[in-house]
Amino acid sequence: MSDYFEPWLQFKNAIVRQLAFAIASPNLLRSTPHELQMQHPFSWHSDQVWKQHYENYLPRLYALDLNPEPLIRFFNQLKSTRLGLRFEYLIWFWLLDKDYHPYQLLAHSLQVIEGKTTLGELDFLIYNQETKHTEHWEVALKYYLAEQNTQLYHWYGLNRQDTLYRKLQHFAQQQFKFTTALQMQIDQRFAVMKGQLFLPLFHTTHNLPVWLNTSRRLGYWGTQIFAQNHFRIARSQWLCLDNEQGQQDAVLWCDGLYYNRDTDTPYMFRQVEYQNPLLWQQFAKQSLHP
């Protein structure tokens, strides 16, 4: 057992576990890296904020675990299998449950249009009834692997065009550029980024960047195949593990996400991580002797 706050694992229904994860899990980052060019500043909710939201929502989660039909009906409108959209819908469902949090949802997927030009879109426009502030939230579910080191510029997504630096820059330069919406002044802007970060195999957790949130379980990635105690999970479970019935032993290894049964540690196996073999050799040497 670990000290990580992972209360979503107690729920029996898969979609309810995912809903609990979307609320209870902390952001991947605890603060904005100083390397970022903050043209339009934004903030991050603290771990305690998400923990309090989860605790306030517990009665609803218990009820949904017994009868998930309202949640299932809500997700019937989602035709895409993209995990990022599924995460957004989970946050949307929770925000609509206005009896369990201080937020009034003003708009979801709000397009900002000037004449015939679409200037952008806001994921969520929210009125915080405690602070009396209008808030703009952008939400994302992300999986990033640290390659040469753990500094901001070296975190890559499974699509190598998707980097942590590029995503944060998009937040700061594009997505949070709006000062008003629905004829209301935007008082605060929040990034909600959850998912999983992966360190290179054999990398220690010492001297990590101060902005990286270590209260969330960190995974590892590499090309090493383990002989036992690992199981592979389907892409649909990347957001949150299902019950153990769906766990299949890792026999034929291919690119994807695996877990160690003994430690509950996520492991992203990649057959090819660098096109440049010299770069890989240098990286492997650094990883073995961090």
Structure confidence by residue, pLDDT tens digits, 169-189? 999 999 999 999 999 999 999
Cα–Cα distance, 153 to 37 (Å, whole number): 13
174 near 136, Cβ under 8 Å?
no
**Is 277 contained in some domain?**
yes
What is the average per-residue pLDDT within 33-62? 96
Q: What integer pLDDT is reported at residue 287 of this predicted model?
A: 35
**Is 1 contained in some domain?**
no
Contacts of 154 (CB under 8 A, 6+ apart): 146, 147, 148
For residue 63 the two structure tokens come to: 């009820």
**Is 12 contained in some domain?**
yes
**pTM of this prediction?**
0.91
Is a pLDDT exceeding 70 seen at residue 259?
Answer: yes
For residue 17 the two structure tokens come to: 């576990």
Contacts of 236 (CB under 8 A, 6+ apart): 81, 83
Is a pLDDT exceeding 80 seen at residue 59?
Answer: yes
For residue 77 the two structure tokens come to: 């409108």
Which residues constitute the domain of residue 48?
7-288
**Is 28 contained in some domain?**
yes
Number of domains into which the chain is organized: 1
Q: What is the mean pLDDT of the chain?
A: 90
Q: What integer pLDDT is reported at residue 113 of this predicted model?
A: 86
Cα–Cα distance, 149 to 203 (Å, whole number): 9
For residue 220 the two structure tokens come to: 């590892």
**Is 141 contained in some domain?**
yes
**Is 136 contained in some domain?**
yes
136 near 175, Cβ under 8 Å?
no
Cα–Cα distance, 88 to 262 (Å, whole number): 31
Q: What integer pLDDT is reported at residue 286 of this predicted model?
A: 39
Q: What integer pLDDT is reported at residue 203 of this predicted model?
A: 87
Least confident of 12-21, 170-179, 238-247: 238-247
Q: What integer pLDDT is reported at residue 167 of this predicted model?
A: 97
227 near 249, Cβ under 8 Å?
no
Least confident of 4-13, 30-39, 84-93, 110-119: 110-119
Better pLDDT: 284 or 239: 239
Q: Which of 7, 6, 122 is nearest to 61 (CA)?
A: 7
